[in-house]
Amino acid sequence: MKDIKCPLCGTQLKQFNDIHDTYHVRVGCQKCKWTTFLTDPEKADQAAEAVISKFPPIMRLNSGDKLLLEGAKDYFTVVSVELGKAVIHTDKGYCYIDDVVKWPWELEQKGRDE
Ligand SMILES: [Zn+2]
């Protein structure tokens, strides 16, 4: 399955099998106790991504994510996020939501090391 993280806690999402149905799965967060409906593995990934896409962008950031900021030539790497203040700390200093030109999921995913 795809590398998808929970927007609530940042935990990697998992596939859960149903004891009565060995083909279909649910995708969800073990820690926050939510899953998608039971469907085939590819659709379960898509359903999980559809849920996550409804969260505000700042909640979907994880440390290590790359951002493209207004007026910057290089990518900034997310270190941590202060949700209450809506501040994003990066390897090159902090920024705000309005400074972000492209979010990680809007950047081309190339050269990813697994
Ligand atoms: Zn979670």
> Can you tell me the mean pLDDT for 78-102?
96
Question: pLDDT confidence of 114, banded at 50, 70, 90?
Answer: very low
Residue with tokens 């920024």: 95
Task: Give the domain ranges of the chain.
Answer: 14-55, 58-106
Per DSSP (E only), the strands in 1-114 are 14-18, 21-29, 34-35, 66-69, 76-82, 87-90, 93-96, 100-102
Please give the single-letter amino acid code of residue 36.
T
If you measure from the C-alpha of residue 82 to the centroid of ligand 1, how many angstroms do you get, rounded to a whole number?
17
What does the pLDDT average to over 79-89? 95
* Ligand 1 center from residue 11 Cα (angstroms): 5
pLDDT 10s digits, 14-72: 999 988 888 999 999 999 999 999 999 999 999 999 999 999 999 999 999 999 999 99
Q: How remote is the CA of residue 29 from the centroid of ligand 1, in Å?
A: 5
Q: Is the dihedral of CA 43, 49, 52, 53 positive or negative?
A: negative
DSSP-derived 3-state class of residue 64: coil
CA–centroid distance, residue 36 to ligand 1 (Å): 13
Centre of ligand 1 to C-alpha 109, Å, is 23
Contact 89, 79 (CB under 8 A): yes
The encoded tokens of residue 27 equal 């995708």
Distance 9 CA to ligand 1 centre (A): 4
The residue type of 35 is T
